[in-house]
């Protein structure tokens, strides 16, 4: 087995439902710069020292993502040049901070695991698109307006009830004021 490096460099900011290409590249120790470039090449790339075997298997893990290997099999024969790159299509499903990590296994020619490297999870901040943000704001505005409409409807109903009560009071006062006063009858004298 040869000494080598593995580089993993997913985007640190993603948008829900938008697919991203995520790469894991391996190569010999003397090719570190080329390996970093093949992985994505940002200044946040995760580089790990590994041993490279004749067969290797890579797996990308992350909760809250749809993950699909897009270029070949997860298990591969490694050429004499000791170079390989795995590429996945990663689509975040929900908003919020998420973690992506890789597991790289060194296998013997019969498939027995010889060694394994699990990369430290990398945090990816997932947000919604600008269109989705605008839709959320519109929905919140509609919700707020619905509350105000209910309040105005309640006030309207109360207003009519208040007018009805006021009219009843006025009608009662008019009836009392317009009715003539009845004289009090004298009591007949008792002997």
Which pLDDT tens digit goes with each residue over 127-185? 988 887 778 788 887 887 787 788 777 777 777 777 788 888 888 887 877 766 566 66
pLDDT score for 18? 95
CB 60 within 8 A of CB 100: yes
Q: What does 24-75 look like in DSSP terms, one character per residue?
A: EEEEEGGGHHHHHHHHT--TT-EEEEEEE-SEEEEEEE-TTEEEEE-SS-SE
- The candidate with the shortest Cα–Cα distance to 8, out of 95, 151, 119, is 119
Q: How far apart are CA 40 and CA 103, in angstroms?
A: 18
- Taking only the tens place, the pLDDT of each residue in 68-85 is 999 889 999 887 677 899
What six digits make up the tokens of 134? Answer: 């605008």
Q: How far apart are CA 46 and CA 34, in angstroms?
A: 14
Q: Is the pTM of this model over 0.85?
A: no
In three-state secondary structure terms, 76 is strand
The pair phi, psi for residue 147, each rounded to 5°, is -65, -45
């Amino acid at each position: 087995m040869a000494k080598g490096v593995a580089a993993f460099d997913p985007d640190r900011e993603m948008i829900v439902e938008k697919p991203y290409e995520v790469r894991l590249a391996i190569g010999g120790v003397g090719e570190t710069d080329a390996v970093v470039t093949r992985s994505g090449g940002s200044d946040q790339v995760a580089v790990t020292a590994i041993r490279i075997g004749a067969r290797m298997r890579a797996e990308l893990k992350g909760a809250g993502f749809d993950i699909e290997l897009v270029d070949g099999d997860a298990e591969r024969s490694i050429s004499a040049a000791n170079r390989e790159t795995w590429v996945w299509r990663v689509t975040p499903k929900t908003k919020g901070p998420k973690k992506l990590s890789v597991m790289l296994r060194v296998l013997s020619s019969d498939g027995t695991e010889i060694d394994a490297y699990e990369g430290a999870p990398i945090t990816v901040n997932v947000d919604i698109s600008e269109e989705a943000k605008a839709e959320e704001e519109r929905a919140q505005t509609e919700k707020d307006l619905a509350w105000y409409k209910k309040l105005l409807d309640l006030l309207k109903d109360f207003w009519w009830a208040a007018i009805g009560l006021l009219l009843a009071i006025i009608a009662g006062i008019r009836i009392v004021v317009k009715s003539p006063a009845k004289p009090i009858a004298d009591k007949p004298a008792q002997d």
